[in-house]
Amino acid sequence: MYKSLRQGDSGMVPVVVGLLLLVTYFQIRNAAFLSSGNLVNLFVQATIFILLGMAEIWVLLLGEIDLSIGITSVLGGAVAVILVDPQFHWSWFLALPAGILVVTLIGALYGMIVVRLNVPSFIVTLAGFLAFQGVLIYIVDSQGTGGTIPVHEKVLYNLVYGNLTPLWTWILAIEGVAIMCYRIIKRDINRRASGLVTEPLTYVVVKVVLLVAVGLILAKIFDANRGTFIVLRGMPFAIPIDIGVLVAGTFILTRTKAGRYINAIGGNSEAVRRAGVRVNRYRLLAFVLTGVTGGIGGLLYVSQLNGVNDGPPSTLTLYAIAAAVIGGTSLFGGRGKMIHAVVGGLIIATIYNGMALLSMSASTQYVVTGIVLLAAVTVDSVARRNSATK
């Protein structure tokens, strides 16, 4: 009986094993791979794939797709970079939300066109990919700084390059682990108290132990000095930002009506409509949430790049979709979780980072990422077919 309870989690085991295999491979080839300096670097690289992957999951759940998120998110980032630039000199707490707002409005526009005019989302967002690429190049070039705008503002710069102090790193890690353990245990207690079927106790214990272990290891990695000339310790701000979005997204998806409907629409939208739900409202909402999440990702992107240039990142969208799909989200709607983007994003960042460490060429990286994507989806669909015919 508890097997069905676990259905949701056990699906991720193959991907996590795949990730561990990749990590093992790179560590054998280069002992620096698992150094705290490199791992922190890898996590920061992953944060962007993860955020954009999470952005993509909102629309993928509906059975829709956003082919432009890698461009629109950077466009939002560019707006923030320009607004904090000396010539406009906006304060960061206005400029950063403004950047997110741009991407959100684009998401709302897509949603409106898809929902009201019934145009397939891959066409709408493909058009957006082309058009907003042009807009991005235009606004960057029009600043007259030779096609590159650097970030001079501290907060935006620090999103990726700033760190929590070691003390705060530990506080955050311990608090995070404690809250998650509390939730797992409380859920179990509540279900027991209500006389509902519960997971076996060992399973709960294993989950808690794993959580504590992962939390401590991560805190240790972030706490270690990874500087060469100066002391460099603590968790980069990008990490808690990702975790915050992960928690918020997961909450919306699993604990609110809106999340329930977004899931359900991907399963059978006519059934949802007949249940009296305003389906179009929630489809639009998913596009908006893609925009919000992507907007945050765009800020991290320009922070990491330390600016924005007029050579738009044409592959970023594909990495976002790949992160979601490698993690286990279906391209056809109805199946997806925010955590999928985390695992998928980590896999992509691992390949990216590990291959650079082994000084493999960019061409090899593309090929390998492609193969991993194919392998992940194939393993997934084969596993699914087996369980369906069981």
Binding residues for other proteins (CB under 8 A) = 1, 4-5, 7, 190-191, 194-197, 251, 254-257, 260, 263-264, 266-268, 270-278, 334-335
Nearest-approach distance from CB 387 to other proteins, in angstroms = 9
Nearest-approach distance from CB 253 to other proteins, in angstroms = 11
Question: Closer CB to other proteins, residue 62 or residue 372?
Answer: 62
- Sequence letter at residue 145: T
Question: Closer CB to other proteins, residue 29 or residue 260?
Answer: 260
- Angle ∠(42,312,157) on CA atoms, nearest 5: 50
Question: Closer CB to other proteins, residue 233 or residue 260?
Answer: 260
Nearest-approach distance from CB 157 to other proteins, in angstroms = 36
Nearest-approach distance from CB 148 to other proteins, in angstroms = 45
Question: Closer CB to other proteins, residue 89 or residue 257?
Answer: 257
Distance CA 237, CA 179 (A): 20
Nearest-approach distance from CB 324 to other proteins, in angstroms = 16
| Strand partners for 376 | none
Question: Closer CB to other proteins, residue 183 or residue 220?
Answer: 183
Backbone angles phi, psi at 308, to 5 degrees: -145, 145
Q: Which residues of 103-115 are buried (b: 16+ CB within 10 A; e: fewer)?
A: bbebbbbbbebbb
Question: Closer CB to other proteins, residue 89 or residue 116?
Answer: 116
Nearest-approach distance from CB 261 to other proteins, in angstroms = 8
Where are the alpha helices (H) located in the chain, listed in sequence order? 2-10, 13-29, 36-62, 69-84, 92-117, 121-141, 154-161, 166-193, 201-223, 238-255, 257-274, 279-305, 316-327, 338-357, 362-389
Question: Closer CB to other proteins, residue 95 or residue 279?
Answer: 279
Asked if 249 and 338 touch (Cβ cutoff 8 Å), the reply is: yes
Distance CA 200, CA 205 (A): 9
| Strand partners for 148 | 309
Nearest-approach distance from CB 255 to other proteins, in angstroms = 4
